[in-house]
């Protein structure tokens, strides 16, 4: 009898070999099936309910993948590529997952037939490299120095990114706004200088763009009505100081003999507070913002002296105000010089919907803007924010790197044709692999058709024929159930989105194909109870 050699801890699961690769591919397929239907302008949305009961409605691949809470170790790779696509370029998150799934599906027969993983991986890498090269060759670069043309290009890219979202009815309105917002930023186009706020109520078209910092006033004390609500070129003090009487809350024990001593304690506190307030007043600051509460005494004090104040300002808003208006966030009022105070051209407190907003415009230091989204349901506004984020990312990308390709499956069909042509010149297994990738690329137009309820076989045949005749930018025409030149129809996408999606999908495919063994350790303390072993002690 052969002695059994046990190397790993009891309860360890290990599976390996070809069947392991196949099972990983199947797991990925299940994930792809979840997001498949959200692709494109006619894609459906998903309603996701988290453990705490919070509901999210989204069409964004990355958001859906994040909320799916995938536990399968290999399928998690797909979640990662969706996230990285979101961080890297911001759009194309559904496409990347669908592409990776289709690559895997096309490679499955090769694995089943026993082609070695390394050969398949080499084939996939080669095909991707050829495809990326080809995108760079054929991408169209509109002239950059022409302001009008650049603006048109940006607006079209933004409109394409939003065409597949809930807000596609208002995409013209929003694409203009998004381009305006990005144009307001400086050279580096920092994303955090575009603030997005949501105010329930009103119509989606009431959404407005403020050329500066704007944030909600969270809390007001008595006396606030008497404060002025508008200033021109005020000095702004940004504080991290509590301006409130607070001794009652402190947990100190003081022994007092008589009433006079008690009065002294109270007086001392008032003196400290008044001292701070006086310093602020003397510094010439007209607007006082603090991260911490500003109490009613302080509010009244400022109101009497023609000053405005707001407490409990969220940290990110305070930081953005600091970046835009200059100055620094102070933790003491000891030396309030002009160099630590910010300023702006115009300050105003304004009613928007049910909320009061503090608005700073004409900021001297940094260029910044704020989009205030209006709308009905909370989930709707959240999805609007995500869609705007996609569009903003795309416009930033397109502004930095202005090459575009036609969307709606056009670029995928062209790549597919290109790869098929090349594969004919290669002998051996690689030919099969490259033409399999060529077939996989057709998944994007096919899915666009399926989601719109079109006859995908018919349209794909037409597309293949058109591309064979050299019509490079023919893609799916979503409006007329037909094919159309999507470059003319202005369905444009930055070539970077496509390049990134292709490379990420191919990386994920190679990663999953190269894993031939999964070893799962039991969590400490919860391995299966050693049943049936004579003499083994039970854990209790």
By annotation, the residues acting in catalysis are: 60, 93-94, 390
The verdict on 508 binding ligand ADP (CB under 6 A) reads no
CB atoms within 10 A of CB 415: 26
Provide the 8-state DSSP code for 339: G
Nearest to 259, CA basis, from 249, 267, 251? 267
Q: How far is the CB of 81 from Mg ion (least distance, A)?
A: 15
The verdict on 477 binding Mg ion (CB under 5 A) reads no
β pairing state of 194-200 and 369-375: parallel
- Output the six-digit token pair for 244: 């409130």
Q: How far is the CB of 93 from ligand ADP (least distance, A)?
A: 4
Q: How far is the CB of 368 from ligand ADP (least distance, A)?
A: 27
Binding segment for ligand ADP (CB under 6 A), chosen from 124-132, 156-164, 286-294, 329-337, is 156-164
Helix (H, G, I), strand (E, B) or coil at 515: coil
The verdict on 86 binding Mg ion (CB under 5 A) reads no
The verdict on 91 binding ligand ADP (CB under 6 A) reads yes
- Output the six-digit token pair for 335: 């030396």
Asked if 498 contacts 135 with a C-beta cutoff of 8 angstroms, the reply is yes
Q: How far is the CB of 410 from ligand ADP (least distance, A)?
A: 8
Alpha helix locations (H) across 76-170? Answer: 76-88, 93-113, 117-138, 147-162
Q: How far is the CB of 444 from Mg ion (least distance, A)?
A: 12
Asked if 415 contacts 441 with a C-beta cutoff of 8 angstroms, the reply is yes
Binding segment for ligand ADP (CB under 6 A), chosen from 68-76, 159-167, 302-310, 426-434, is 159-167
Q: How far is the CB of 58 from ligand ADP (least distance, A)?
A: 10
The verdict on 444 binding ligand ADP (CB under 6 A) reads yes
What are the DSSP calls for 218-260, one per residue?
----TTGGGS--EEES-EEEEE---BS--GGGS------SSHH
The vertex-398 CA angle with 397 and 403, nearest 5°, equals 120
**472 CA to centre of own chain:** 32
- With CB atoms as reference, the residue minimizing the distance to Mg ion is 91
Binding segment for Mg ion (CB under 5 A), chosen from 70-78, 83-91, 345-353, 464-472, is 83-91
Residue at token pair 């050329």: 211
Given ligand ADP, Mg ion, none, residue 326, with its beta carbon under 5 to 8 Å by kind, binds none
Binding segment for Mg ion (CB under 5 A), chosen from 91-99, 302-310, 365-373, 429-437, is 91-99
Of residues 388 and 478, the one with the C-beta less far from ligand ADP: 478
> Inter-axis angle of helices 61-68 and 18-35, to 10 degrees?
120
Alpha carbon distance 490, 152 (integer Å): 10
Of residues 459 and 476, the one with the C-beta less far from ligand ADP: 476
Q: How far is the CB of 490 from Mg ion (least distance, A)?
A: 15
Burial 85-99 (b: 16+ CB within 10 A, else e): bbebbbbbbbbbbbb
Site for ligand ADP in 37-66 (CB under 6 A): 38-41, 43, 59, 61
The verdict on 160 binding ligand ADP (CB under 6 A) reads yes
Of residues 59 and 361, the one with the C-beta less far from ligand ADP: 59
Nearest to 211, CA basis, from 175, 177, 167? 177
Q: How far is the CB of 306 from ligand ADP (least distance, A)?
A: 51
Nearest to 72, CA basis, from 520, 414, 534? 520
Alpha carbon distance 75, 518 (integer Å): 13
Helix (H, G, I), strand (E, B) or coil at 286: coil
Binding segment for Mg ion (CB under 5 A), chosen from 84-92, 436-444, 490-498, 510-518, is 84-92
The verdict on 493 binding ligand ADP (CB under 6 A) reads yes
Of residues 327 and 407, the one with the C-beta less far from ligand ADP: 407
Among 291, 407, 438, 502, binds ligand ADP (CB under 6 A): 407
Alpha carbon distance 116, 113 (integer Å): 9
Alpha carbon distance 101, 440 (integer Å): 9
Query: What is the maximal distance between C-alpha atoms in the chain?
Result: 103
Burial 401-411 (b: 16+ CB within 10 A, else e): ebbbbbbbbbb
CB atoms within 10 A of CB 38: 22
Given Mg ion, ligand ADP, none, residue 507, with its beta carbon under 5 to 8 Å by kind, binds none
Of residues 99 and 182, the one with the C-beta less far from ligand ADP: 99
Among 24, 56, 68, 92, binds ligand ADP (CB under 6 A): 92
Given ligand ADP, Mg ion, none, residue 39, with its beta carbon under 5 to 8 Å by kind, binds ligand ADP
The verdict on 91 binding Mg ion (CB under 5 A) reads yes
Of residues 95 and 299, the one with the C-beta less far from Mg ion: 95
The verdict on 493 binding Mg ion (CB under 5 A) reads no
Among 408, 416, 466, 506, binds ligand ADP (CB under 6 A): 408
Site for ligand ADP in 164-223 (CB under 6 A): 164
Given Mg ion, ligand ADP, none, residue 93, with its beta carbon under 5 to 8 Å by kind, binds ligand ADP
Of residues 121 and 410, the one with the C-beta less far from ligand ADP: 410
CB atoms within 10 A of CB 136: 11
Alpha carbon distance 393, 416 (integer Å): 27
Q: How far is the CB of 390 from Mg ion (least distance, A)?
A: 6
> Inter-axis angle of helices 117-138 and 93-113, to 10 degrees?
140
Count of residues that interact with Mg ion, criterion CB under 5 A? 1
| Residues at the interface with Mg ion (CB under 5 A) | 91
| Residues at the interface with ligand ADP (CB under 6 A) | 38-41, 43, 59, 61, 91-95, 160, 163-164, 407-408, 444, 448, 476, 478, 491, 493
């Amino acid at each position: 009898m052969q002695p059994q050699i046990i190397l790993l801890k009891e309860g360890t699961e290990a599976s390996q070999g070809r069947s392991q690769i196949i099972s990983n591919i199947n797991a990925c397929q299940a994930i792809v099936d979840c997001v498949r239907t959200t692709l494109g302008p006619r894609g459906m949305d998903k309603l996701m309910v988290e453990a705490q009961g919070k509901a999210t409605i989204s069409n964004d691949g990355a958001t859906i993948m994040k909320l799916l809470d995938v536990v399968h170790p290999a399928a998690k790779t797909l979640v990662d590529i969706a996230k990285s696509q979101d961080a890297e370029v911001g759009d194309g998150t559904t496409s990347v997952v669908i592409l990776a799934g289709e690559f895997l599906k096309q490679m499955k027969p090769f694995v089943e037939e026993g082609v070695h993983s390394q050969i398949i991986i080499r084939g996939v890498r080669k095909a991707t490299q050829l495809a990326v090269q080809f995108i760079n060759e054929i991408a169209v670069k509109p002239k950059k120095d022409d302001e009008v043309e650049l603006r048109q290009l940006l607006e079209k890219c933004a409109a394409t990114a939003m065409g597949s979202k809930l807000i596609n009815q208002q995409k013209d309105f929003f694409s203009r706004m998004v381009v305006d917002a990005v144009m307001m930023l400086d050279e580096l186009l920092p994303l955090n200088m575009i603030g997005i706020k949501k105010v329930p109520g009103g119509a989606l078209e009431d959404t407005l763009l403020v050329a500066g910092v704007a944030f909600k006033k969270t809390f007001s004390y008595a006396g606030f009505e008497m404060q002025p609500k508008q200033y021109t070129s005020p000095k702004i003090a940004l504080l991290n100081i509590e301006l409130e009487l607070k001794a009652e809350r402190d947990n100190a024990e003081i022994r007092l003999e008589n009433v006079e001593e008690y009065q002294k304690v109270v007086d001392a506190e008032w003196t400290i507070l008044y001292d701070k307030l006086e310093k602020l007043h003397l510094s010439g600051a007209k607007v006082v913002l603090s991260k911490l509460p500003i109490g009613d005494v302080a509010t009244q004090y400022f109101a009497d002296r023609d000053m405005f104040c707001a407490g409990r300002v969220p940290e990110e808003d305070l930081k953005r105000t600091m970046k835009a208006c200059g100055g620094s966030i102070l933790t003491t009022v000891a030396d309030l010089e002009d160099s630590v105070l910010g300023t702006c051209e115009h300050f105003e407190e304004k009613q928007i919907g049910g909320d009061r907003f503090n608005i700073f415009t004409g900021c001297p230091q940094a260029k910044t803007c704020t989009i205030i989204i209006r709308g009905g349901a909370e989930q709707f506004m959240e999805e609007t924010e995500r869609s705007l984020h996609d569009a903003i990312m795309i416009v930033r990308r397109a502004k930095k790197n202005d090459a575009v390709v036609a969307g709606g499956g056009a670029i995928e069909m062209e790549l597919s044709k290109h790869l098929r042509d090349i594969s004919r010149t290669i002998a051996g297994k690689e030919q099969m692999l490259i033409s399999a990738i060529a077939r996989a690329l057709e998944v994007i137009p096919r899915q666009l058709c399926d989601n719109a309820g079109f006859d995908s076989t018919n349209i794909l045949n037409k597309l293949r024929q058109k591309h064979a005749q050299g019509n490079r930018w023919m893609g799916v025409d979503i409006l007329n159930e037909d094919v159309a030149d999507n470059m003319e129809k202005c369905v444009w996408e930055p070539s970077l989105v496509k390049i990134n999606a292709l490379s990420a999908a191919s990386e994920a495919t190679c990663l999953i194909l190269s894993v031939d063994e999964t070893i799962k350790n039991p969590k400490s303390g919860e391995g299966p109870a050693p049943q049936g072993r004579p003499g083994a002690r039970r854990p209790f």
